[in-house]
Amino acid sequence: MPVNIIDGRQLSDLLIEEMAQEVKVRMAQGHQQPGLAVVLVGEDPASTIYVRNKIRCAEKAGLFSVVTRLDETCTQQELEDVVNELNERDDIHGILVQLPLPEHLSEERIINLIKPSKDVDGFHPVNVGLLSSGQATLIPCTPLGCLEILKREMGDLSGKHAVVVGRSNIVGKPMANLLLQANCTVSIVHSKTIDAAALCRQADILVAAVGVAELVDDNWVKPGAVVIDVGINATEIDGKRKLVGDVNFENVAGKCRAITPVPGGVGPMTIACLIKNTLVAAKQN
């Protein structure tokens, strides 16, 4: 069958343009400009690139943004002081502390310190609980991006069998909850699952989010399935560094109805959904 490669960058641009129009209309009606604050600790190259991309997308969508940079040696208290200040700012609707943090800092304490109403990463226990109970909340950006892709690709997801490979708090568990809310029948595959490939072969929707390079091959995929590859794994091929997903793209692409590439699939939609969460937070405020 012909391969349908889902262009995450194109979908991201479309979503950001839709939000830019909404922000423009809201501001014309007298609403406050949505504000996003990003906190970056240290000079990790990957984190620096992620932050730059997030700010660029925020500005494209018409958001006001600020970046606070702290030295890698900053104390827990210094970081918490920054978060507390942002919690109290009326012009800031979303707060994102770029992870991972240096080892001497507690990510759990920082996540719990951000006001749930400004937690645009969707990691605060209050937001996790609201999502688990099916209530409106700020949703982790990567699974939200995956859901946006699936709805735009497939329309109504009701009755589809979705299999999520991985049970992390960041992707696997919230992804399963979102798919349940979309009326899918949901299975979760993890390291203790017996014959994971057999279960995955039943899936109309297969979401791979386990962090193992090219784990999912064509033996795991039902013909005509839609495959969402969340994994980003650095490998070295012929002496050159290359990013690959959790899915063996070359092996699987010809068998499925549609598939996201790595890079250029889920990643751009994750950033777009961070902006979407900030807009949601501003509207709720």
Q: Is residue 52 part of a domain?
A: yes
Q: Clarify whether residues 153 and 101 are in a common domain.
A: no
Write the Ramachandran bin of 239: left for phi over 0, alpha for psi from -120 to 50, otherwise beta.
left
Q: Clarify whether residues 145 and 222 are in a common domain.
A: yes
pLDDT in tens, the chain (285 residues): 567 999 999 999 999 999 999 999 999 999 999 999 999 999 888 888 889 999 999 999 999 999 999 999 999 999 999 999 999 999 999 999 999 999 999 999 999 999 999 999 999 999 999 999 999 999 999 999 999 999 999 999 999 999 999 999 999 999 999 999 999 999 999 999 999 999 999 999 999 999 999 999 999 999 999 999 999 998 887 778 888 999 999 999 999 999 999 999 999 999 999 999 999 999 998
Q: Clarify whether residues 101 and 202 are in a common domain.
A: no
The Cα–Cα gap between 257 and 254 comes to 8
The Cα–Cα gap between 112 and 209 comes to 24
Q: Clarify whether residues 81 and 157 are in a common domain.
A: no
Residue 257 annotated in ligand binding: no
Catalytic site residue from 7, 71, 91, 98:
98
Find the length of the chain: 285
Structural domain including 186 reads: 141-267
Residue type, 210: V
Q: Is residue 237 part of a domain?
A: yes
Residue 166 annotated in ligand binding: yes
Spell out the residues 6+ positions from residue 206 whose beta carbon is closer than 8 angstroms to its own: 162, 163, 165, 200, 216, 220, 221, 222, 225, 226, 227, 228, 256
> pLDDT digit string (tens) for 110-147?
999 999 999 999 999 999 999 999 999 999 999 999 99
Catalytic site residue from 119, 121, 204, 246:
121
Neighbours of 104 (CB within 10 A): 10
Asked about 91 being catalytic, the answer comes back as: no
Q: Is residue 130 part of a domain?
A: no
Q: Clarify whether residues 146 and 232 are in a common domain.
A: yes
Task: Specify whether the CB–CB gap between 36 and 64 falls below 8 A.
Answer: yes
Question: Domain of 145: which CATH number?
Answer: 3.40.50.720
Task: Specify whether the CB–CB gap between 45 and 53 falls below 8 A.
Answer: no
Q: Produce one character per residue of 193-222: b if its CB has 16 or more CB atoms within 10 Å, e if not.
A: beebeebbbebbbbbbbbeebbbbebebbb
Q: Clarify whether residues 224 and 107 are in a common domain.
A: no
Q: Is residue 102 part of a domain?
A: yes
Asked about 98 being catalytic, the answer comes back as: yes
Asked about 181 being catalytic, the answer comes back as: no
Beta bridge partner(s), residue 35: 64
Q: Clarify whether residues 161 and 231 are in a common domain.
A: yes
Question: Domain of 94: which CATH number?
Answer: 3.40.50.10860
| 233-237/240-244 β-pairing | antiparallel
Q: How many domains does the chain divide into?
A: 2
Q: Give me the phi and psi of 10, to 5 degrees please.
A: -65, -45
Q: Clarify whether residues 99 and 166 are in a common domain.
A: no
Catalytic site residue from 54, 118, 160, 255:
54
